Amino acid sequence: MNEQQIAYRIKQCLNRGLELDAGKLVRLKAAREQALARQRVESRIPVLAWAGNIIGKSGGPSALVPRVLLPMAVLILGLIAINHWRDSQLAAEIEEIDAAVLTGDLPLDAYLDKGFDAWLKHSSY
Amino acid sequence: MAKALFVLTLWLCTSLSTLAATPPKKPPTWGELASEQQRILAPLSDDWDNFEPQRKRNWIGIAKRYPNMKPDEQARVQRRMQAWAKLTPKERDAARARYKKMEKLPQQRKEGLKGQWEEYNRLPEQERRKLGSTPRKPSAAAPKVKPPATASPEQTAPPEVAPAPGPDR
């Protein structure tokens, strides 16, 4: 007999009418209130379940830190690090080129002259 | 456990935000440069304080390489420094792009570039104009530079720009 069938039986008995003493009534009332209180807690769960995959079903809000904030912080740190690295790479490349242009055999004008560029291309650049 | 993680995350977040918010260390003004750096970068002394931070860092990096350069390279840097600094950012970018392009040439062609530049400069002015040549900045050809003491022997080096006499120079 499953839960639903028990509930159906109880309902039928109750419909027929019960004569209960005061002690049983008090215990029943207490049990009902307990059940209602539990239901209130459970009713909140679907709301949490919406974000259940992110926050975690068992951990509740305390799981927010390891499952959301920490990875997010690591991700941001990673992005900032990549950005710094890219900037420094670019700066290093510019410094390298500038040093080569300033020390090289060719004068600055050779790099500035569009005509020379075109002429080199023309003569099988 | 959760508390420790929370503290760790909080610490990460605060350090991240300070890292992102604080600008990188301010580069030195001319007066703050070491005397050795001032000696090497002397041609830039007048303009230094107007340079944006990244350019200052770039020049400080070049000054760091300077002692390892050959004497003739040091002399070239001294001669070209001011002209290079006076170019517009766009011109410098274009020059860097051309340098990169020339760097990709086969070694044999790269070695011949100097000769080709001289050959190009022997072309009649009109022909060079047709190819897109624009009048050159006089500062790029012969900047007036106060070279550092150690660079004095190279002062007598011939002008680096190939002769290209023309009314526009």
ipTM value greater than 0.85: no
Percent of chain A with pLDDT over 70: 81
Residue A81, chain B, CB below 8 Å: the answer is no
Per DSSP, the residues of B54-98 read HHHHHHHHHHHHGGGS-HHHHHHHHHHHHHHHHS-HHHHHHHHHH
How many Å lie between the alpha carbon of B31 and the closest alpha carbon of chain A? 23
pTM to 2 decimals? 0.62
Q: Is the pLDDT at A39 greater than 90, yes or no?
A: no
Task: Assess whether pLDDT exceeds 70 at residue B50.
Answer: yes
Distance separating alpha carbons of residues B24 and B26, to the nearest angstrom: 6
Q: Do A95 and B80 touch (CB under 8 A)?
A: no
Contact B99 A73 (CB under 8 A): no
Output helix, strand, coil percentages for chain A, rounded to the nearest 5.
Answer: 85, 0, 15
CB B120 to CB A106 under 8 A?
Answer: no
Specify whether the CB–CB gap between B164 and B121 falls below 8 A.
yes
Across A31-45, A46-60, B7-21, B141-155, least confident range: B141-155
Q: For B100, name the nearest residue in chain A, comparing CA atoms only.
A: A97
**Cβ-contact B61, A62 below 8 angstroms:** no
Distance (Å) from the alpha carbon of A28 to chain B's nearest alpha carbon? 40
Q: Which two tokens stand for residue A40?
A: 């209130």
- State both tokens at A23: 């002690």
Gap from B20 CA to chain A (nearest CA, Å): 8
Q: State the DSSP H helix or E strand holding residue A26, giving kind and residue range, or none if neither.
A: helix A22-50
Q: Show residues of chain B in contact with A83, CB under 8 Å.
A: none
Average pLDDT over residues A39-58: 59
Q: Would you state the pLDDT for residue B158?
A: 43
Average pLDDT of the residues in A57-61 = 56
